[in-house]
Structure 1
Amino acid sequence: MSGDRSTPNGLRRRWRARKGREGSSAVEFAMVGLPFFFMLFAIMEVGLIFVTDSVLDGAASDTSRLIRTGQAANSNLTADQFKTQLCSRMGIFSGDCPSRASVDVRVLTQFRNQTPPDPLANGSSFDDSQLTYVTGQPGSLMLVRVWYKQPLITPFLAQALSRLGDGSALLVSTTAFRNEPYTPSS
Structure 2
Amino acid sequence: MFAEGLINRPPIRGRIVRRFCKPLGRRGVAATEFALISIPFFIIVIGCMEVAWQLATGAALDHAALRASRYGITGSNTPPSWQTTGQENVPTCRSQNIIWLVTQSTGGMLKVANLTVTTAAWPNVSGAGTGTGTQGAGSGGQIIAYTLTYRQPFITGLVAASLFGGDSFTHQAFLMVKNEPFENAAC
Does the aligned pair in 2 maintain the 1:105–1:145 contact within 8 Å?
yes
Q: Which residue of 2 aligns with 1:64?
A: 69
- Does the CA-based 8 Å contact 1:144-1:175 persist in structure 2? yes
Give CA-to-partner distance per residue, 1:30-67, whole Å, 9 cap, x none.
Answer: 11001101101111211111111111111111011222
Amino acid at match of 2:161: A
- Residue 135 in 1 paired to residue 137 in 2? yes
Please report how far the alpha carbon of residue 21 of structure 1 lies from its aligned counterpart in structure 2 after TM superposition. 2.3
- Does residue 174 (structure 1) correspond to residue 179 (structure 2)? The answer is no
Identity of aligned residues (%): 25
Match of 2:114 among 100, 104, 114: 100
Unaligned runs of 5+ in 1: 1-11, 118-131
> TM-score, normalization: structure 1?
0.68
Q: Which residue of 2 aligns with 1:87?
A: 103
Q: CA deviation at 1:158?
A: 2.9
- The partner residue of 2:54 within 38, 44, 49 is 49
> Could you say if the C-alpha distance between residues 115 and 151 of structure 1 is closer, same or farther in structure 2, counting changes exceeding 3 Å?
farther
Partner residue of 1:8?
none
Q: SS in structure 2 opposite 1:91?
A: coil
SS at match of 1:171: strand
Do the aligned partners of 1:72 and 1:135 also contact (CA within 8 Å) in 2?
Answer: no
> Which residue number corresponds to residue 127 of structure 1?
none
Q: Would you say the 8 A contact 1:73–1:135 is kept in 2?
A: no
132-141 vs 52-61, which moves further: 132-141
Q: Which residue of 1 aligns with 2:161?
A: 158
How far residue 115 of structure 1 moved from its aligned partner, in angstroms, is: 5.9
Q: CA RMSD in A?
A: 3.0
Q: Give 1 or 2 for the bigger CA radius of gyration.
A: 2
Query: Do the aligned partners of 2:72 and 2:98 also contact (CA within 8 Å) in 1?
Result: no
Query: Under a length normalisation based on structure 2, what TM-score does the superposition of the two structures give?
Result: 0.68
Take 1:160 and 1:33, find their aligned partners in 2: how far apart are those partners? 17
Aligned to 2:85: none
| Structure 2 residue 94 is the aligned partner of structure 1 residue 77 | yes
**Length, aligned pairs only:** 150
Q: Alpha-carbon deviation of 1:161?
A: 4.2
Secondary structure at the aligned position of 2:26 is classed as coil
Query: Which amino acid in 2 is paired with 1:111?
Result: A
